[in-house]
Structure 1
Amino acid sequence: RIGTPRTPFPLLPLALLMHFSNFVAFSHRVTLSIAIVAMANGTGQWGLNNISSEGPSAGPVHPNGSFLQDATGARVYDWSSETQGVILSAIFYGYLLTQIPGGYLAGLLGGKLVAGAGLLVSSALTLLTPLASDLGAAYLVGLRVAQGMAQGVIIPAQFTLWAKWAPPLERSRLVNFSSAGISFGIFLTLIVGGVISHSLGWPSIFYIFGGVGCVCCLLWFSLVYKDPQSHPFIGASEKEFITSSLTQQGSSHGRTVPISAMLTSLPLWAISVAFFSNYWLYITLLTSLPMYMKTVLHFNIREGGFLSSLPYIASWFSGSLVGLLADLLLSKNICSLITLRKLFSALGKTMLIPSAFLVAVSYMDSNYITAVVLLTLSLVIRSLSGAGCLINHMDIAPRYAAQSLPSTFGTISGVITPSAVGFFTSQVFIVEEGLPKRDPLAERNSRAR
């Protein structure tokens, strides 16, 4: 039950708008992961044009007074793998800083205002990314940190909205459907971003997705309401149903937060550890998969973007179904809430199957079909935790769900993994200089013949 005949709109449109906002927010996050394949020296497709810094019409000049461009005319930068790792991880530094303050502000000011403001700032900074890149890597890192700070408030603010809108028996499907926008945003950005970069140049990725974000903000501020009481079109029966189903969880936390009780809560720490391991897998793929397709499997940016996107469309589909299944099990009294959360958490993460698939991928340096299948299975199985540990904090403390301690703990992995990948990648390249090298591209073509 998502509405009544008198009020068909309140919850489903809210879920759709949150789905769209998550789509936009994570498209902003992943644009750099796909664009950096073309932005960085030695990783993009080269047009081999030396263009004077005075302008493209100056023609080839001495290398000391020139910079490189790719085949579309977009500038290419001389960034090491370590620098690329720092750039990719920068957004998570900012994201880490604002999740808890963002949740607190959402409790005071309302989830609509805080989430909308974060999305608007993220959209503006996405539009400015090409300019920051031209100014230098340090400017780009600073911009991405600021963008992470803007994005860090979005998810906590959404939990504030759901705490006031989502009836307990509908919570799994609503939250999972809105969260599925994350996977769909990554999917579409990877598949479209590769084509845009290949055809129009990598700066166009940021201009297009930044513009889409501005449109989303317009819809958000026009159509989202902070609670059922402020919605002008909701019927009295629907308003009564929602508010009565949420009476046991109490009102908003106001200005007080039980910090001591939160820090000493074993269930909360268990959820936080689950968040960390879950985010570790997800962020590793989010930041590194396009580069893996380029440097290991030797696909160009368009092909690599398409293949990188396949696991995410599968994750989007499975994540949407998981919420429906969880609510069905609860509504039919097939299992209790605590059993349900433990079951989906165990299936999604604790059994380590997704991580095992990722380990297996490291041995697939020429078999791209098997690699993509394993990556897809890894994210599909991980999506089961969307009805488990990733929503469990709303069950145990709905009044403080926006405080985002578990999500903050999980984001620490986002700070670590891109830099770690950049460091280990540079060490592998150093070792490879003294070793005979295989050619996965030649092996793939040989099997095709």
Structure 2
Amino acid sequence: MAKDFGWDKIQTGGVLSAFFYGYALTQLVGGRLADSFGGKRVLALGVLGWSLATFVTPLAAAGGAIPLVAARVTLGAGEGVAFPAVHSLISRHVPKDRQSTAVAAVTAASYGGAAFAFGVTPAVVLAGGWEAAFYTFGAAAIVWFPFWAASSFKVVNDAGGGGKYGADSAGKTGVIDEWLALVKTREVRAICVAQFAQSWGGYGLLSWLPTYFEEALGVPLGDLPAFTVLPYFIQGIVGVGSGVVADQWLREGKFSTKFIRRAFQTVGMVGPAVCLAGAAVLGGAGATDANVFAAAVLVDVGLALSALTLAGVSVSHLDVAPRHAGLVFATGNTCATIAGIIAVPLSGWVLEATGQSWSAVFGVIAVLYVVGAALWWAWVGDEPVPEDSL
């Protein structure tokens, strides 16, 4: 699309980042609605909304910048309710000693979706143009929706919530006051900081990874799947494994909940930081073919290691705020989305300003990973926040 419309890196980054504005817009609303009324309907509306926005993107692009950005914002708004709704569902319908595994499995499925998309999109684009990719993925909801509509769930945890799930503390304090009280706790701040730092790298790499492999490392478009699919495939395996291991350790009492959350999150952030630093050195100008291959491997390994955080920050809200799991997850994910809003276009600007220096982009990501990991280690909690403090 960028080549057809003659966009530079800054313009491309602007179009990519428009998604995150919509994504940030609906996080808290989606989390609160899911906590109050259950996540099934909220997730269904989100999927249908983002699928429609995907399908009409080629038409929007033909209409100019404003319709295209509107379609991207709408896409983000639909996807924004998804994970808060899912995590609210997990809080209510999955036994507590299986929740790390459930979170890991659901998120690993999203990695699988990314791997599938990276794998098939180049072939779809080469066969039918970039428009065909949007039509294909936009229509996928037609397959999913009937199965979701027919599903049902049993409540196994008294996670609170409003609506048919009973009254909660928001009735006493108001939703805004309750949310502010949650954000003021050190445990929720730990989630927010870790999500921001981690997603700066995650969203930045997700958006720019094909460009990095094609332009910096010289990988042709048709060969991209060999480089861009593997990390997400490995992420899925590592993610599910981390959830299973974390739950097993908790059931056996080998380690405390806090130690498990600290360990998985720290390795899942510092490990990618080290890998990206190595890739920045090996993949610089004038690199040999061997060094270019090593840089690609390091980027892939770093992305795979980040899946360890599925047993860290991705499940921490279930430890510290089970009654408000959707709202707290949405708060952390909003911080993550803000990171995407900043990181994607800023990375494009850095590339333009530094003469396409991917070392500079990776260096910023690595520093944020390390800082985020340090603050997470200091602030993470493992017990529910006292209700009388909200």
| TM class, shorter-length | 0.7 to 0.9
Change (3 A) 1:307 1:167: same
Which residue in the other structure is 2:2 paired with?
A: 40
C-alpha separation between the residues in 2 aligned to 1:281 and 1:425? 15
| Structure 1 residue 356 displacement after superposition | 2.3
Higher relative contact order (CA 8 A, sep 6+): 2
Amino acid at match of 2:346: A
Q: Which residue number in structure 2 is paired with residue 130 of structure 1? A: 58
The question of 1:101 aligning with 2:29 is answered yes
Conserved? CA contact 1:315–1:376, under 8 Å: no
Q: Distance in 1 between matches of 2:225 and 2:15?
A: 19
The 8 Å contact of residues 315 and 379 in structure 1, kept in 2 or not, is answered as: yes
Equivalent residue number for residue 238 of structure 1: none
1:102 Cα deviation (Å)?
Answer: 0.9
Query: Would the aligned equivalents of 1:191 and 1:302 in 2 still touch at CA under 8 Å?
Result: no
Q: Does 1:347 align with 2:267?
A: yes
1:138/1:413 CA distance change after superposition, 3 Å? same
Query: Which of residues 314, 320, 343 is equivalent to 1:417?
Result: 343
Rg bigger for which structure?
1
Structure 1 equivalent of residue 352 of structure 2: 426
1:388 pairs with 2:312: yes
Instruction: Find the aligned partners of 1:196 and 1:148 in 2 and give their Cα distance.
Output: 23
2:295 is the counterpart of 1:356:
no
- Counterpart among 180, 183, 194 of residue 263 in structure 1: 183
| One-letter amino acid of the counterpart of residue 13, structure 2 | G
Residue 107 of structure 2 is aligned to residue 179 of structure 1 = yes
Deviation at 1:429, TM superposition (A): 4.0
Match of 1:52 in 2: none
Structure 2, gaps ≥5 residues long: 163-167, 358-390
Deviation per CA, 1:350-370: give whole Å up to 9, x if none. xx2212211222231453321
Deviation at 1:251, TM superposition (A): 4.8
Q: Which moved more, 1:394-403 or 1:338-347?
A: 338-347
Once the two structures are superposed, what CA deviation does each residue of 1:177-231 show, in whole Å capped at 9, x if it has no partner? 01111111111101110111122211111111111123112222222x3x416xx
Q: Is 2:296 the partner of 1:372?
A: yes
C-alpha deviation, 1:250, in angstroms? 4.0
8 Å CA contact retained: 2:26, 2:80: yes
CA drift of 1:163 comes to 1.3
Match of 2:87 in 1: 159
Give 1:147's aligned amino acid: L
Deviations 1:12-34 (A, max 9, x none): xxxxxxxxxxxxxxxxxxxxxxx
- How far apart are the structure 2 equivalents of 1:391 and 1:399? 14
Which residue pairs with 1:20 in the alignment?
none
Give the drift of 1:110: 2.0
Say if 1:287 and 1:200 are closer, same or farther in 2 by CA, change over 3 A.
same
Are 1:90 and 2:18 counterparts? yes
Higher helix residue share: 2
Q: Give me the whole-angstrom Cα distance separating, in 2, the residues matched to 1:424 and 1:417.
A: 10
Q: Secondary structure at the match of 2:254?
A: coil
CA distance in 2, matches of 1:303, 1:417: 26
Task: Describe how 1:322-333 pairs up with structure 2 within 5 A.
Answer: 322-333=242-253
Residue 142 of structure 1: CA displacement?
Answer: 1.3
* Alignment of 1:296 onto 2:216: yes
Does residue 277 of the first structure (1) align with residue 206 of the second (2)? no
> Partner letter of residue 57 of structure 2?
T
Name the CA distance, whole Å, in 1 between partners of 2:122 and 2:31: 34
CA distance in 1, matches of 2:276, 2:264: 20
1:331–1:204 CA distance, 2 compared to 1 (3 A) = same
Q: Is the deviation greater in 84-93 or in 300-309?
A: 300-309
The CA deviation string for residues 404-449 of structure 1, in whole angstroms up to 9 with x for no partner, is: 2111111111101110122122223499xxxxxxxxxxxxxxxxxx
The two structures have a TM-score, normalised by structure 1, of 0.72
> TM-score of the superposition, structure 2-length normalised?
0.83
* Residue in 2 that maps onto 1:321: 241
Structure 1: runs of 5+ lacking an equivalent: 1-38, 42-75, 230-241, 432-449
Q: Is the 8 A contact 1:290 1:305 kept in 2?
A: no
The range that moved more, 358-367 or 336-345, is 358-367
Q: 2-side partners of 1:94 and 1:162: how far apart?
A: 24
CA deviations on 1:16-64 (whole Å, 9 max, x unpaired) are: xxxxxxxxxxxxxxxxxxxxxxx222xxxxxxxxxxxxxxxxxxxxxxx
Aligned residues, how many? 339
Rounded to whole Å, the distance in 1 between the matches of 2:17 and 2:142 is 24
CA change 1:114–1:387 in 2 (3 A) is: same
Pairwise CA distance, 1:336? 2.0
Distance in 2, matches of 1:282 and 1:127, equals 25
Contact 2:195–2:335 under 8 Å retained in 1: yes
For 2:324 and 2:293, the matched residues in 1 are separated by: 44
Q: Distance in 2 between matches of 1:189 and 1:259?
A: 36
2:349 aligned partner, one-letter code: F
Amino acid at match of 2:246: A
Identity fraction in percent: 31
